[in-house]
């Protein structure tokens, strides 16, 4: 006998098969501890809140009802300012994934139009203007990367490009229909423009808020999109879209921002000596990516586990009880889980093996970042350490290399390099490689082939 239900089955009920092939539902809540029970029955809004992702909401009660009791489409915008997504984008993608798992439809909006202007939010200088060819190339890269993290199969999610409606607008008609709903005084008071006001905000950039607001209106028309999400630095732009829909259409629309990825000191995460932490393995290798998360501060590891992984909150709360050196276990879990999401389990395992070798828990250096040199790189059987560091691109200049060595920041096979004039002989490569350590976190294998 098959029990048929017209209403949504509560999350605590799990479908079971009996021997006759029928389906019945059993309530397993009676034996669960309170914390686990709350986690199982938690709606997506409460989960995002419990993970510390939500920053600001236009109407918390209505957004909570929309996300927990209805199905809706929502959008997040991605301006193609580079040819790879980075760690900051990853937070947005994790929110999209949580929402998609809850049955909502993500719209990934790529800025083929807004990318021609550049978002002034949080910038003291105007962004470099990109060509149409650069923008198209960057969007293609974004689409490829995002497709490994979000299910874009039929009906599951939507990719859109605001260039489809922004690039061919009649400017006079656009300003008459849309610009009339924005006051310059209010726009200039918005947080997204404050930093630009010091050096001068161009009229070109002032259009950005109007364009982003129009995106929300257009997506509302095309896909009945009711909710715009974005980082907390997008709050003013999101409010603009919510109000534009209300004024133009007389309809309710909502906005929600999520926490920016910052350290406990308030500094933006995702930056290294080499620049941004990219999701593209050609720009940031899986090993470097893993190492970044393995080496984050003690105060940030639990926050990152909540924001950047799908680990159950009950498991994360257990890890939060660790102290001192035991926190390395939590850091290793974080590094593995995040690397697995971005680069796959195989690359995550390789990165883990390489990292453990560096921390003395193994001897496998195979998966460590490496460079090759040949005997022709040696002069009279020797190569200067500065020349070697420059060749494998561990230093931007020999001057920087000298300063690093003088500060005790370079070691070769665990022996500190004392002088910038130090040279390595071919015989130092008797095992066919050496390990160079730069600072506390960068390890590099140099192979003699």
Give residue 128's Cα distance to chain centre.
22
Q: pLDDT of 255-307, one tens digit each?
A: 999 998 988 778 888 876 667 899 999 999 898 899 899 989 999 999 999 99
Residues in contact with 96: Cβ distance below 8 Å, sequence separation at least 6, in sequence order: 76, 106, 108, 150, 157, 229
Q: What DSSP state is assigned to residue 275?
A: E
Residue 313 lies in a domain: yes
Q: How would you class 1 by CB atoms within 10 Å of its CB: exposed for 0-12, middle for 13-18, buried for 19 or more?
A: exposed
Predicted TM-score (pTM) of the model is 0.73
Angle formed by the axes of helices 286-294 and 327-343, to 10°?
Answer: 150
Taking Cα atoms as reference points, which of 354, 365, 424, 357 lies closest to residue 389? 424
The number of folded domains in the chain is 4
- 109 shares a domain with 238: yes
Q: State yes or no: pLDDT of 56 exceeds 90.
A: yes
Range of the domain at 183: 39-258
CATH of the domain at 401: 3.10.290.10
Token pair of 366 as six digits: 């195979």
What is the structure's pLDDT at 4?
39
What is the structure's pLDDT at 16?
41
CATH of the domain at 319: 1.10.240.10
What band does 361 get if pLDDT is binned at 50, 70 and 90? very low
- 237 shares a domain with 128: yes
Where does residue 224 fall: left (phi above 0), alpha (psi -120 to 50 degrees), or beta otherwise?
left
What band does 427 get if pLDDT is binned at 50, 70 and 90? confident
- Which of 315, 335, 358 corresponds to the end of one domain? 358
Angle at 406 between CA 397 and CA 425, to 5 degrees: 75
What is the structure's pLDDT at 449?
85
- 425 shares a domain with 307: no
Token pair of 147 as six digits: 């497709």
Residues in contact with 311: Cβ distance below 8 Å, sequence separation at least 6, in sequence order: 305, 333, 337
**8 Å CB contact between 440 and 407:** no
What band does 120 get if pLDDT is binned at 50, 70 and 90? low
- 296 shares a domain with 184: no
Residue 69 to residue 57: CA distance in whole angstroms: 17
Residue 135 lies in a domain: yes
- 221 shares a domain with 96: yes
Taking Cα atoms as reference points, which of 127, 263, 248, 74 lies closest to residue 178? 248
| More confidently predicted of 342 and 395 | 342
What band does 41 get if pLDDT is binned at 50, 70 and 90? low
Q: State yes or no: pLDDT of 415 exceeds 90.
A: no
Residue 331 to residue 242: CA distance in whole angstroms: 39
CATH of the domain at 46: 3.40.50.620
- Which of 335, 358, 381 corresponds to the end of one domain? 358
Using H for helix, E for strand and C for coil, what is the string for 15-31? Answer: EEECCCCCEEEEECHHH
| Percent of the chain predicted with pLDDT > 70 | 83
- 114 shares a domain with 5: no
Residue 263 lies in a domain: no
- Which of 336, 358, 380 corresponds to the end of one domain? 358
Angle formed by the axes of helices 301-308 and 327-343, to 10°?
Answer: 30
Positions marked catalytic: 81, 86, 89, 123, 127, 212, 233, 268, 271-272
What is the structure's pLDDT at 148?
87
What is the structure's pLDDT at 272?
67
What is the structure's pLDDT at 37?
45
> Any bridge partners for residue 411, and if so which?
416, 437
Taking Cα atoms as reference points, which of 115, 91, 114 lies closest to residue 229? 91
Taking Cα atoms as reference points, which of 91, 118, 120, 125 lies closest to residue 306? 91
Q: pLDDT of 63-82, one tens digit each?
A: 999 999 999 999 999 999 89
Mean pLDDT taken over the chain? 84
Q: State yes or no: pLDDT of 5 exceeds 50.
A: no
């Amino acid at each position: 006998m098959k029990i048929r239900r017209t209403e949504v089955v509560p999350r605590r009920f799990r479908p079971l098969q009996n021997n006759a092939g029928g389906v019945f539902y059993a309530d397993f809540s009676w034996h669960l501890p309170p914390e686990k029970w709350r986690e199982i029955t938690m709606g997506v809004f409460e989960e995002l809140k419990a993970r510390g992702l939500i920053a600001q909401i236009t109407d918390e009660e209505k957004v909570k009802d929309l996300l927990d009791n209805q199905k809706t489409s929502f959008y997040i915008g991605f301006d193609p300012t580079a040819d790879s997504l980075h760690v900051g984008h990853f937070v947005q993608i994790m929110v999209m994934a949580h929402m998609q798992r809850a049955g909502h439809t993500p719209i990934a909006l790529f800025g083929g139009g807004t990318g021609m202007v550049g978002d002034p939010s949080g910038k003291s200088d105007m962004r470099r203007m990109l060509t149409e060819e650069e923008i198209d190339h960057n969007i293609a890269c974004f689409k490829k990367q995002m497709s490994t993290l979000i299910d874009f199969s039929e009906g599951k999610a939507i990719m859109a490009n605001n260039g489809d409606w922004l690039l061919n607008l009649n400017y006079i008609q656009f300003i008459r229909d849309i610009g009339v709903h924005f006051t310059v005084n209010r726009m200039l008071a918005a947080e997204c423009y404050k930093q630009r006001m010091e050096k001068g905000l161009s009229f070109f950039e002032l259009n950005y808020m109007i364009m982003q607001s129009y995106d929300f209106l257009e997506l509302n028309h095309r896909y009945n999109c009711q909710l715009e999400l974005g980082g907390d630095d997008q709050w003013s732009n999101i409010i603009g879209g919510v109000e534009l829909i209300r004024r133009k259409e007389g309809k309710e629309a909502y906005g929600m921002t999520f926490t920016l990825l910052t350290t406990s000191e308030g500094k933006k995460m995702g930056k290294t000596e080499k620049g941004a932490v990219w999701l593209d393995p050609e720009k940031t290798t899986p090993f470097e990516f893993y190492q970044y998360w393995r080496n984050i501060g003690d105060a940030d590891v639990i926050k990152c586990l909540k924001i950047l992984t799908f680990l159950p909150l009950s498991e994360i709360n257990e890890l939060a009880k660790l102290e001192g050196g035991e926190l390395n276990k939590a850091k290793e879990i974080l590094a593995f889980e995040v690397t697995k999401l971005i680069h796959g389990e195989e690359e995550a395992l390789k990165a883990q093996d390489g990292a453990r070798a560096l921390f003395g828990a193994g001897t496998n250096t195979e998966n460590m970042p490496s460079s090759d040199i040949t005997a022709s790189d040696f002069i009279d059987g020797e190569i200067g350490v500065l020349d070697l560091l420059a060749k494998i691109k561990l230093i931007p200049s020999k001057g920087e290399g000298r300063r690093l060595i003088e500060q005790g920041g370079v070691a070769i096979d665990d022996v500190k390099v004392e002088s910038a004039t130090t040279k390595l002989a071919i015989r130092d490569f008797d095992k066919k490689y050496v390990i160079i350590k730069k600072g506390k976190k960068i390890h590099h294998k140099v192979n003699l082939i």
